[in-house]
Amino acid sequence: MSDTRDEVRKVVVTVPATSANVGVGYDCLGLALDLPARFTFEPARELLIDGCEERFRGEDNLVWTSYLETCKNLLAKPIPLHITIDSPIPLSGGLGSSSTCVVAGVAAAQVFCGRGYEPQSALEAACRIEGHPDNVAPAIMGGLVSSFADAEGTHSIRFDIADNLAFVVIAPPYEVRTADARKVMPESVSTDVAVWQIGHAVAAVNALESGDAALLARACQDKLHEPHRSALIADYEPLRRTALAAGAATFLISGSGSTMLAIADGKAAAQRVADAVENMVENHVDGVWVRVLDANACGATVEVA
């Protein structure tokens, strides 16, 4: 087993927030948003983690465990690190906060093990740790990514997202556990639903790439998971009604929730949607976190000093 290299003084990994599923692409599609988490790694005498909540500062920190796992797979002895986490991504779930931690830990291990950052092997390692590609793939590659797995591994295909589309992330102040959101999924679906999903998913990818907001509105009509999961988000219906009435082209559950995502044609339209959901009088959601974001095109970046 080789030693990780101690001549690297500092590694800074920046990873964007991501929104998995994009409505009709359950467990396949994901897109990156311009809301980056920044992780700084410096060699230290012993593990030290700061910048995050106290409960995440121990040996079970996801950045650290992803770093250790990757060092092990690269047959390198891990060096202790001082990890500083600076993340604006809400923990309430649905914006890929765990994927940012996994990608950062994997990338840091590659650099400290002397391999240099390799996005393709980072993607494979991060998929193994996270268990599914729909957040880690866009977190690494940026843009919109469609993934599928076969006997040879995971294959991720990247698409650019049109500049005119703007994203409104709406995070209510409560969590939906992914395990609970997966429990409500049907065990099987009819051929009609499968055909509906395939046609709509292809159209949704085209609409996001071309910026055709009218097509996006038609295409993002999910029958696979959202009808079952929307009941788990207490404020889903009033938020959806308000966002669509204010001009959103479509309104989706981001990942497994509880965050929701409205997509609008242009920043001004997106801001109107954001203002409408923040200022709802009837059914007002106390503590809702709302941001207007662009798509992120470049994915994770790694700087080494």
Ligand X SMILES: N[C@@H](CCO)C(=O)O
Nearer to ligand ATP, 139 or 292 (CB): 139
CB of 52 to ligand ATP, least distance (A): 3
Q: Which of 36, 90, 138, 255 binds ligand X (CB under 6 A)?
A: 255
Q: Which of 105, 142, 172, 255 binds ligand ATP (CB under 6 A)?
A: 255
Taking only Cα atoms into account, the Rg of the chain, rounded to an integer number of angstroms, comes to 19
The one of ligand X, ligand ATP, none whose footprint includes residue 25, by CB under 5 to 8 A per kind, is none
Nearer to ligand ATP, 14 or 87 (CB): 87
Of 20-28, 136-144, 214-222, 235-243, the segment contacting ligand X by CB under 6 A is 20-28
Spell out the alpha helix ranges (H) of 211-254: 213-219, 226-229, 236-245
Query: What is the four-CA torsion angle of 16, 21, 25, 27, rounded to 10 degrees?
Result: 100
Asked if 21 interacts with ligand X (CB under 6 A), we say yes
- For residue 151, give Cα distances in angstroms to 28, 30, 131, 199, 294: 16, 22, 15, 25, 35
Asked if 256 interacts with ligand ATP (CB under 6 A), we say yes
8 A C-beta contact, residue 157 and residue 184: no
The one of ligand ATP, ligand X, none whose footprint includes residue 29, by CB under 5 to 8 A per kind, is none
Of 19-27, 71-79, 103-111, 289-297, the segment contacting ligand X by CB under 6 A is 19-27
8 A C-beta contact, residue 235 and residue 262: no
- Cβ neighbour number for residue 268 with a 10 Å cutoff: 11
For 216: left if phi > 0, alpha if psi spans -120 to 50, otherwise beta; the answer is alpha
CB of 58 to ligand ATP, least distance (A): 10
Of 91-99, 144-152, 218-226, 282-290, the segment contacting ligand ATP by CB under 6 A is 91-99
CB of 294 to ligand X, least distance (A): 22
CB of 132 to ligand X, least distance (A): 6
Within residues 166-185, the interface with ligand X by CB under 6 A covers 178, 181-182
Query: What is the four-CA torsion angle of 176, 182, 183, 187, rounded to 10 degrees?
Result: 160
Q: Is residue 173 a known part of a binding site?
A: no
Asked if 98 interacts with ligand ATP (CB under 6 A), we say yes
Strands (E), the chain: 2-3, 11-20, 29-43, 48-50, 76-77, 81-86, 144-150, 153-159, 165-171, 250-253, 260-265, 289-293, 301-304
Q: Is residue 100 a known part of a binding site?
A: yes
8 A C-beta contact, residue 112 and residue 4: yes
83: β partners: 41, 49
Of 89-97, 159-167, 263-271, 293-301, the segment contacting ligand ATP by CB under 6 A is 89-97
Written as six digits, the tokens of 71 are 């060092």
Distance CA 9, CA 79 (A): 12
CB of 210 to ligand ATP, least distance (A): 26
Q: Is 104 buried (19+), middle (13-18) or exposed (0-12) by CB count in 10 A? A: buried
Instruction: Enumerate binding residues for ligand ATP (CB under 6 A).
Output: 20, 52, 56, 62, 85, 87, 91, 93-99, 101, 135, 178, 255-256
Tell me the binding residues.
90-100
Tell me the binding residues for ATP.
90-100
Instruction: Enumerate binding residues for ligand X (CB under 6 A).
Output: 20-21, 27, 132, 134, 178, 181-182, 255-256
